[in-house]
Amino acid sequence: MKVIVFLCFFCCFGILRAQKLSGTWQGLSSIQQTNASNTTSGSWIYLEMTIVKGLIDGKIRHEDYSLRQYYIYDIIGKVLPNGHLELSETNLSAKSKNAVSFQKQQFDVEFDEKKGYLLGKSKDGKSLFTLYRAAFNIQENTPAILTENQLIKFQQELKDGLSSPEKRLEELKAFKFDPIYFDYGKDSLKKQYEPYLIEMIRMVKSHSDLRILITGHTDSDGSDAYNIDLSKRRAAALLRFFEANGLPKSRVEIDFKGEKEPVDRNDTPEGKQKNRRVDFRFI
């Protein structure tokens, strides 16, 4: 009896979570080609759906940029016990002039909670899509086709591992800056910091209005001139790392303070280690 109650609760909870996915989504659809090169072609789709008590109703618009055509299918579906959505294209409700519609498809769809994307896969495995939440409804009779620049931009965002626009502000608010530290007299980066720095790059790329300021520091050993140069080299090492990992130089500024801004005492080994650092902040 307890097992039955648990399963009922689990199914109801999954349906309630799925209902929050109601609305309009847009994104990239990739269709696996059957030719010998085994390449994929990309198009844009809009998915509009309403989920009530585990049942789904809506429509899906496919846009083919290269052919400058679109077609729209009505969809029906349901929420599965595992929380996935099962969608089926039914009636062809609209299309552009001379558009050649693809065969109706069925999709298994899941929500990526971490990244904020709807991820879909056709039952035959030939078609995939990645969608993010849109702020408008599908327009059935508009001839507008997504521009190539928009398509390429989203492809690059996926390649860079960026989350959906809806998730990016949450990630930025939660992101915490930590300094990275250097060995005595050195300006070489330690491997242990690379995952953190890669995540910082992802944060900057996720927001087109962000840049990052890198500030180098040293302990008090050595002359002022030596420490200014060493702190500059430490900041420059970070700049090179960011550029080498895909962050344009235009998104980065460097500064260097030498020994002028310690965060701890310079008369203990522990304090000196904390002062041999690079700090970061968004600008």
In a shared domain, residues 82 and 134: yes
pLDDT of residue 105: 93
Q: Which domain holds residue 278?
A: 175-282
Helix or strand holding residue 89 (H, E): strand 85-95
pLDDT tens-digit readout, 193-215? 999 999 999 999 999 999 999 99
Q: What's the half-sphere exposure (Cβ side, CA atoms, 13 Å) at 87?
A: 30
pLDDT tens-digit readout, 127-172? 999 999 998 777 776 777 777 788 889 999 999 999 999 999 999 9
pTM recorded for the entire structure: 0.81
Q: What is the domain-level CATH number for residue 86?
A: 2.40.128.120
* Position 8 pLDDT exceeds 70: no
pLDDT of residue 136: 79
Q: What is the largest CA-CA distance in the chain?
A: 79
pLDDT tens-digit readout, 88-98? 999 999 888 87
Q: What is the mean pLDDT of the chain?
A: 88
In a shared domain, residues 13 and 114: yes
pLDDT of residue 33: 52
Nearest to 144 by CA among 68, 30, 46: 68
In a shared domain, residues 138 and 11: yes
Is residue 38 one of the residues assigned to a domain?
Answer: yes
C-alpha 123/C-alpha 115 separation (Å) is: 23
Is residue 249 one of the residues assigned to a domain?
Answer: yes
- Report the percent of the chain where pLDDT is more than 90: 72
* Position 81 pLDDT exceeds 80: yes
In a shared domain, residues 91 and 38: yes
Number of domains in the chain: 2
Is residue 155 one of the residues assigned to a domain?
Answer: no
* Position 7 pLDDT exceeds 70: no
> How large is the average pLDDT for residues 9-33?
74
* Position 13 pLDDT exceeds 90: no
User: CB-based contacts of 120: which residues, under 8 Å, 6+ apart?
Assistant: 87, 107, 108, 109, 127, 128, 129, 130, 131
pLDDT of residue 9: 44
Phi, psi angle pair for 91, to nearest 5°? -80, 135
Is residue 169 one of the residues assigned to a domain?
Answer: no
* Position 78 pLDDT exceeds 90: yes
Q: What is the domain-level CATH number for residue 243?
A: 3.30.1330.60
> How large is the average pLDDT for residues 81-102?
88
Res. 16 pLDDT band, cuts 50 70 90: low
In a shared domain, residues 278 and 204: yes
> How large is the average pLDDT for residues 213-234?
98
Domain boundary among 116, 150, 184: 150
Is residue 170 one of the residues assigned to a domain?
Answer: no
In a shared domain, residues 114 and 194: no
In a shared domain, residues 253 and 197: yes
Is residue 260 one of the residues assigned to a domain?
Answer: yes
3 state SS of 150:
helix
In a shared domain, residues 85 and 211: no
In a shared domain, residues 99 and 204: no
In a shared domain, residues 203 and 73: no
pLDDT of residue 40: 46
> How large is the average pLDDT for residues 120-124?
94
In a shared domain, residues 8 and 140: yes
Is residue 166 one of the residues assigned to a domain?
Answer: no
* Position 192 pLDDT exceeds 90: yes
Task: Look up residue 171 and give its two tokens.
Answer: 């990630």
In a shared domain, residues 8 and 144: yes
Query: How many C-beta neighbours within 10 Å does residue 247 have?
Result: 22
